[in-house]
Chains A and B, each alone.
Chain A
Amino acid sequence: MDETKYGWWLPVDVSVHGARIDQLISVVHWFMLLLFVGWGAFFVYCLIKFRARDGHQATYNPVKGIFTKYIEVAVVVIEVFVLFGLSTPVWFAYKNHPPAEKDAVTIKLVAEQFAWNFHYSGKDGKFGRTDSSLMSGDNPLGLDPDSPEGKDDIVTVNQMHIPVHKPVIIQITSKDVIHSFNIPVLRVKQDTIPGQRIPIWFEATQTGHFELACAQLCGLGHYRMRADVFIDSPEDYAKWEADNTPPPAEAPAAEAPPAPEAPAVPAPEAK
Chain B
Amino acid sequence: MSVEQQPHGTPNAPAIGPETGHAHGELAHAGPDHGHHELPFWKKYIFSVDHKVIGIQYAVTALLFLFFGFTLMMMMRWQLAYPGRPMPFFGRFFSDNVMPGGVMAPEFYNQLGAMHGTIMVFLGVVPLAVGGFGNFVMPLQIGAPDMAFPRLNLLSYWVFVPGGIIMLASFAMPGGAAQSGWTSYPPLSVIASSGQTAWLFGMIFLITSSLLGSINFIVTIVQMRAKGMTFFRLPFFVHAQLVTSFLLLLAFPPLEAAGILQLMDRLAGTSFFLPTGLVVSGEALKVAGGGSPLLWQHLFWFLAHPEVYVLILPAIGIVAEVIANNTRKPLWGYRLLVYSIIFLGFMSFVVWAHHMFMTGMGTTMSTFFQTTTMIISVPSVIVVTCFLMSLYGGNIRFTVPMLFATAFLPMFAIGGLTGLPLGLTASDIYLHDTFYVIGHFHYVVAPGTLFALFAGIYYWYPKATGRMMNSTLGKIHFWWSFVSINFVFMPMFFQGMAGLSRRLYDPTVYAHGRGVQPLNVVISWAAWSLGLAQIPFIINFFMSLKNGARIAENPWNATTLEWMAPSPPGHGNFLTEPIVYREPYEYSVPGAKQDFSPQFVAEA
Contacts and interface: CB of A to CB of B under 8 A. Distances in A.
Interface in B357-401: 358-360, 362-363, 366-367, 370-371, 374, 377-378, 381-382, 384-385, 388-389, 391-398
A217 B188 contact: yes
A80 B398 CA distance: 38
B501 A226 contact: no
Contacts of A8: 494, 497-498, 515-516, 519
B503 interface: yes
A16 interface: no
Contacts of B186: 177
B511 A3 contact: yes
A29 B497 CA distance: 11
Contact of A9 (B330, B409, B424, B494): B494
Given A195-B277, A213-B501, A21 B427 contact: yes
B184 to A, nearest CB: 10
B363 A52 contact: no
A187 interface: yes
Contact of B389 (A9, A65, A86, A226): A65
Interface string B480-511: 00000000000000100111011111110111
9 contacts: A3-B514, A10-B498, A24-B426, A62-B332, A71-B385, A75-B377, A79-B374, A215-B432, A217-B188
B420 A32 contact: yes
Interface stretch (A37-45, A99-107, A235-243, A244-252): A37-45
Nearest to A209: B511
A137 B505 CA distance: 25
Interface stretch (B70-78, B341-349, B586-594): B586-594
Contact of B188 (A43, A137, A178): A178
Given A36-B413, A58-B328, A189-B358, A87 B426 contact: yes
Contacts of A59: 329, 393-394, 588
Interface residues of B, number: 102
B439 interface: no
Contact of B430 (A32, A187, A214): A187
A188 B499 CA distance: 11
A230 to B, nearest CB: 14
Nearest to A33: B417
Interface string A57-84: 1111011010010011001100110110
A214 B105 CA distance: 19
B110 interface: yes
B275 interface: yes
A149 interface: no
B531 interface: no
Given A50-B395, A58-B395, A217 B181 contact: yes
Given A3-B515, A91-B429, A220-B179, 12 more contacts: A8-B516, A20-B426, A39-B410, A40-B410, A58-B588, A60-B590, A63-B392, A177-B280, A180-B358, A180-B433, A215-B432, A219-B110
A226 B398 CA distance: 51
B497 A9 contact: yes
Provide the main secondary structure of the chain A interface: mixed
Nearest to A57: B395
Contact of B426 (A7, A11, A21, A222): A21
B378 A75 contact: yes
Nearest to B518: A8
A55 B105 CA distance: 62
Contacts of A90: 426
A147 interface: no
Contacts of B587: 58, 60
Contact of B588 (A7, A42, A57, A72): A57
Contacts of B107: 220
B370 A88 contact: yes
